[in-house]
């Protein structure tokens, strides 16, 4: 029996861009046809983009998806295509349509609807009740959608119906533990069923989630045949041999072994670039303080967008150290970004003078400290309005967790790249980036920005883009003389370990104390997490990169008596 040749479109299909997505699919179908593919496969809900959320409640949106699907079907011309789309027939299903011979010949409905973490499928979709199996080129192919493969029964049902190969289309967001879990599940399904599996995943940033691609080929014996690189847009060629139930990758981009910091960095870069470009902003600006968080954010922004689209602003007051001034300027010059220094001391003083009568009789405290941060927020928002550049907030997950941040001050911004990155990880990323240079990290770096996006930008002066002094200095908000973060917080190594247990691990305070952490430190840290929910509700979105991100994934009440 002849091998079956497939083309897998590991590409970005933006939410709501139905016409553009259909046009892109048409181009990829033409490439697949020219390359001799019998079947081209697109990701979950590729036609509508994923997740379309309440767009699915609009009849006009569903009608546009249906119209585009019919047009794609008419263009199949000797090629079969598997297209993810929202299927409306009184109720709405998360579906995959098999197109061939100018029409829609079969539709598979997603059976397992995830309703945890970032997923909200049961709000929008009805569940399918059967695994679809089709025959193409003499091969029996099971058609599954994302969560279906995480449950044993849909794949088992496809195998009972005679499937030799199972194709799974996905929109599976990346986090720091996801890839190992995917591989384990796919290997288990292959061993259970004896079927080979093609796992195609979406790539690209969408608001608070980032899709990595990372598509996989798994042989019928459970061995991994190929791994696609993460965060790279590519049309991947594969061949299935039904005699051995094995798959072969044909010319896939290299996927070198990379440390965790490299993959996380790529996720953050992709999140920034797609959020800015998909929302039509000319570029970004940020406050560059001379501290580690803003320094890493600047490096990420330049790698995502290129130095020409990034503006950095230093806004010193009486409490700003020479180390901060020198570090910020050195990094801005090194990276070649547009750089401004705006002395906010006069503005800050004018605020203090205006407030003096109302502050009379009260000692200076965090009100005066936060006023500096809010003065900076006013300046940055004015620059954002004037120049049409989106403001990046630079705070990290540790600060966001315990409320060590100022509403309408350093929390100002429309996107927060480090929102889901703990402070200890910020340091690891900074040190990794300083050692990375512009060598190919396995994420498609090129000498020039590619026409269609999809690759990181090399920076002009790659050596140590984050000054060593900035990394090694004690962290400080510099809102009073000789201030350090550890005046108010435990050492970040201790704090982050507690936070990870409480947030990602959902451990109780008693469990964390039993693990060896001081009871008073644990109780204080947990209290800060719980009482600062109101701040997080007002924070900018940022890319989800852990298993429990603030935002749509972790939703706690603001008003709560539970401690």
Burial of 75 (0-12, 13-18, 19+ CB in 10 A): middle
> Of 289, 286, 291, whose CA–CA distance to 470 is shortest?
291
User: Can you tell me the distance from the alpha carbon of 44 to that of 9, in angstroms, rounded to the nearest whole number?
Assistant: 11
Residue 44 among the catalytic residues:
yes
CA 42 from centroid of its chain's CA atoms: 20
Q: Strands 390-391 and 284-287: what pairing? A: parallel
Query: Could you give the 3-state DSSP secondary structure of residue 40?
Result: strand
Query: Could you give the 3-state DSSP secondary structure of residue 491?
Result: coil
CB-based contact 207:181 (threshold 8 Å)? no
Q: Which of 110, 278, 389, 419 is catalytic?
A: 110
Query: Could you give the 3-state DSSP secondary structure of residue 102?
Result: coil
CA dihedral of residues 115, 121, 124, 128 (deg, nearest 10) = -110
Mutual orientation of helices 322-335 and 292-305 as an angle, nearest 10°?
10
Burial of 136 (0-12, 13-18, 19+ CB in 10 A): middle
End-to-end CA distance of the chain: 65
CB-based contact 150:117 (threshold 8 Å)? no
Q: Which of 38, 44, 66, 553 is catalytic?
A: 44
User: Can you tell me the distance from the alpha carbon of 511 to that of 516, in angstroms, rounded to the nearest whole number?
Assistant: 9
DSSP 47-91: TT-S--GGGGG-HHHHHHHHHHHHHHHHT-TT-EEEEEEEEEESE
Q: Which of 24, 65, 66, 146 is catalytic?
A: 146
CB-based contact 418:396 (threshold 8 Å)? yes
Residue 469 among the catalytic residues:
no
CB-based contact 147:114 (threshold 8 Å)? yes
CB-based contact 169:43 (threshold 8 Å)? yes
Query: Could you give the 3-state DSSP secondary structure of residue 204?
Result: strand
**Hey, which residues does 134 pair with through a beta bridge?**
141
Q: How many CA atoms lie within 13 A of 396 on its CB side?
A: 23
**How many residues are present in the chain?**
563
User: Can you tell me the distance from the alpha carbon of 350 to that of 346, in angstroms, rounded to the nearest whole number?
Assistant: 6
* Residues assigned a catalytic role: 44, 110, 146
């Amino acid at each position: 029996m002849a091998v079956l040749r497939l083309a897998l479109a590991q590409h970005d299909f933006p939410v709501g861009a139905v016409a553009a997505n259909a046009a892109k699919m048409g181009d990829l179908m033409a490439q697949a046809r020219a390359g001799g593919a019998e079947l081209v496969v697109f990701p979950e809900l590729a036609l509508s983009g994923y997740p379309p959320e309440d767009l699915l409640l609009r009849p006009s949106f569903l009608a546009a998806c249906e119209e585009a699907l019919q047009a794609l079907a008419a263009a199949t011309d000797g090629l079969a295509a598997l297209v993810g789309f929202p299927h409306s027939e009184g109720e709405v299903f998360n579906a995959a349509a098999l197109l061939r011979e100018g029409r829609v010949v079969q539709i598979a409905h997603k059976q397992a609807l995830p309703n945890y973490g970032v997923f909200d499928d049961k709000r929008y979709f009805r569940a399918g009740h059967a695994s679809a199996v089709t025959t193409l080129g003499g091969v029996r192919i099971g058609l599954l959608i994302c969560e279906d493969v995480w449950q044993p029964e849909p794949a088992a049902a496809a195998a009972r119906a005679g499937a030799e190969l199972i194709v799974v289309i996905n929109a599976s967001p990346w986090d720091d533990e996801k890839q190992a879990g995917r591989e384990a599940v796919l290997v288990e399904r292959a061993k259970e069923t004896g079927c080979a599996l093609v796992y195609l995943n979406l790539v690209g940033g969408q608001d608070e989630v980032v899709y990595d691609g990372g598509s996989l080929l798994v042989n019928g014996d459970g061995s991994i045949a190929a791994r696609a690189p993460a965060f790279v847009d590519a049309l991947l060629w594969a061949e299935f041999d039904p005699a051995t139930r094995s798959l072969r990758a044909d010319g896939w981009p290299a996927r070198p072994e990379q440390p965790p910091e490299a993959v996380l960095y790529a996720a953050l870069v992709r999140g920034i670039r797609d959020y800015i470009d998909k929302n039509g902003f000319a570029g970004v600006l940020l406050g560059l303080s001379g501290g580690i968080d803003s320094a890493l954010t600047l490096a990420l922004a330049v790698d995502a967008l290129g130095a020409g689209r990034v503006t950095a602003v230093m806004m010193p007051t009486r409490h700003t150290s020479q180390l901060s001034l020198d570090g910020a300027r050195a990094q801005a010059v090194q990276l070649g970004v547009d750089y401004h220094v705006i002395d906010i001391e006069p503005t800050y003083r004018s605020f203090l003078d205006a407030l003096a009568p109302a502050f009379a009789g009260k000692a200076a405290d965090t009100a005066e400290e936060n006023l500096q941060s809010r003065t900076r927020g006013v300046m940055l928002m004015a620059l954002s309005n004037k120049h049409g550049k989106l403001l990046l907030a630079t705070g990290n997950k540790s600060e966001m967790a315990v409320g060590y941040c100022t509403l309408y001050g350093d929390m100002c911004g429309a996107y927060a790249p480090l929102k889901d990155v703990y402070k200890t990880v910020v340091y690891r990323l900074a040190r990794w980036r300083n050692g990375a240079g512009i060598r190919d990290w396995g994420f498609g770096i090129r000498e020039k920005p590619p026409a269609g996006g999809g690759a990181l930008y090399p920076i002009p002066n790659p050596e140590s883009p984050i000054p060593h002094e900035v990394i090694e200095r004690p962290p400080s908000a510099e809102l009073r003389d000789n201030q350090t973060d550890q005046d108010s917080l435990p050492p970040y190594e201790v704090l982050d370990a507690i936070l990870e247990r409480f947030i990602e691990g959902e451990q109780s305070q008693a469990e964390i104390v039993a693990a060896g952490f001081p009871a008073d430190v644990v109780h204080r840290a947990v209290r800060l997490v719980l009482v600062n929910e109101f701040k997080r509700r007002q924070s900018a979105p940022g890319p989800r990169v852990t298993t429990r991100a603030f935002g749509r994934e972790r939703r706690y009440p603001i008003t709560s008596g539970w401690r």
